[in-house]
Amino acid sequence: MALGDVLVEVQGLAKHFGDGETRVDALRSVDLLVRAGEVIALLGPSGSGKTTLLNMIGCILDPSAGRVALDGDPVFDGKWLRNDLRRLRLDKIGFIFQAHNLLPFLTAEENVAVVLDLAGWPAEKGRARARELLDYLEVGHRAKVKPALLSGGEAQRVAIARALANRPRIILADEPTAALDSSRAQLVMDLLRKLAAEQEACIITVTHDEKIFDRFDRLIHLRDGHLVDA
C-alpha cells in the first residue's frame, strides 16, 4: 500500500513520574513516525510505556521532554504549543476504547452524533453522518438502541463510528479487540484497515492480542520505556 503524509511525528519523547529516588521513567527518548494509511501496533509488557506513549500522542498526558507533531502541526516542543488541546483532539484524533465507553444515556446514533455536535455541525447533518457511518459499519439497524442493549461487537462498531465521525486522520485505539472473540477481533481490524485507507488516516493501537498481529503494517515493541524494535 502506498503511504501518504506523515500524520504522527514523535522525536525524543520522554515521560517520567516523580523526582529523585521516587523517579520512574515511563518513556525514554522515543522516536516514531506514522504515515497516512498505516496501521501500527504498540506492543510490550505491562509498564513498558505503551499507554503512556498513546496518551501523549493523544494530547492527554504532558510529556517531560521531546517533540510531537500531528498532521503536520507541531503541538509539543518542550511545552504544549496550543491551548485548545480538546479542540485539537476533536478535530484530529479519534479514540477507540477497550470498554467502548459509549455514553449510556445516548442511543447508538446519538453517541456518534455527539462528536459532530461538539464540533459544531448542524444537528440534522450530524445525525445524517452518524446514520451513514452506522450503516457503513452494518449497525444502522441498531441506531436507536441504547448501548446497554448492544452486543459487544455492535458496541465496538458504534465506538469506531464515533471515532471516525469527525473524519480525524489519527485514530488511537486502546485494546480495541480485547473484549471480542477471535473472528470478531479480525473483522474489526479488517474494518479499521479499510477505513484507514479510505480516510487516509493512520491507526495506532495498543494491543496484547496476538490473533490480530498479522493485521498490522508494523509492530512496535516497547520495553522499560524504550522502543526496542519497530
Partner 1 sequence: MNLALKDIRHGLFRFVLTCFGLGLLMTVVLAMIGIYNGLVSDALAVVKAPAADVWVVEAGTQGPFAEASSIPADTRNAVARMPGVAEAGAINYQNIEAPFQGRTLRLYVIGYERGRPGGPQTIVAGRGIGTSHFELVADRKTGLAPGDTIRLGRNHFTVVGLVEGAMNSGGDPAVFMALADAMDLQTELAPADQRVQVARGGGAVKSASVAAVIVRVTPGADVSLLTATLRQWKHLAALTQAEQETILLASVVDKARRQIGLFLGILLTVSAVVIALIIYTMTMEKLKQIATLKLIGAPDRTIVGLIVQQALILGASGWGIGLVLILLVKDVFPRRVVLEPFNVGVLAAIIFVVCLAASGLGVRAALKVDPATALGS
Binding residues (CB under 8 A) for partner 1: these are: 51, 54-55, 58, 60-61, 86-87, 89-91, 95, 97-99, 101, 103-106, 110, 113-115, 117-119, 123, 146, 162, 174-175, 178
Contact 202, 38 (CB under 8 A): yes
Residue nearer to partner 1 on the CB measure, 8 or 55: 55
Residues counted in the chain: 230
Provide the b/e sequence for 189-226 (b: ≥16 CB within 10 Å).
bebbbebbbebebbbbbbbebeebeebbbeebbbeebb
Question: What is the rounded CA–CA span in Å between residue 46 and residue 207?
Answer: 11
Q: Which amino acid is at 223?
A: R
CB of 194 to partner 1, least distance (A): 22
- Integer-rounded Cα radius of gyration of the chain: 17
Of residues 91 and 200, the one with the C-beta less far from partner 1: 91
Residue pair 125/175 in contact by the 8 Å Cβ criterion = no
Task: Find the shortest distance in angstroms from Cβ 196 to partner 1.
Answer: 19
3-state secondary structure of 164: helix
Closer of 114 and 191 to partner 1 (Cβ): 114
CB of 75 to partner 1, least distance (A): 14
Cell numbers placing 149: 442493549
Judged by CB, which is closer to partner 1: 28, or 162? 162
The angle at the Cα of 10, spanning 203 to 87, to the nearest 5 degrees, equals 65
Minimal distance, residue 118 CB to partner 1, in Å: 5
Beta carbon nearer to partner 1, 64 or 101: 101
Contact indicator for 100, 89 with CB cutoff of 8 Å: no
Shortest approach of partner 1 to residue 82 CB, angstroms? 13
Sheet strand arrangement including 73-77: 24-35, 6-17, 65-70, 73-77
Of 132 and 217, nearer to partner 1 (C-beta) is 132
End-to-end CA distance of the chain: 18
- Smallest gap from Cβ 198 to partner 1, in A, equals 21
Smaller CB separation from partner 1, 54 or 137:
54
Smallest separation (angstroms) from partner 1 to the CB of 2? 30
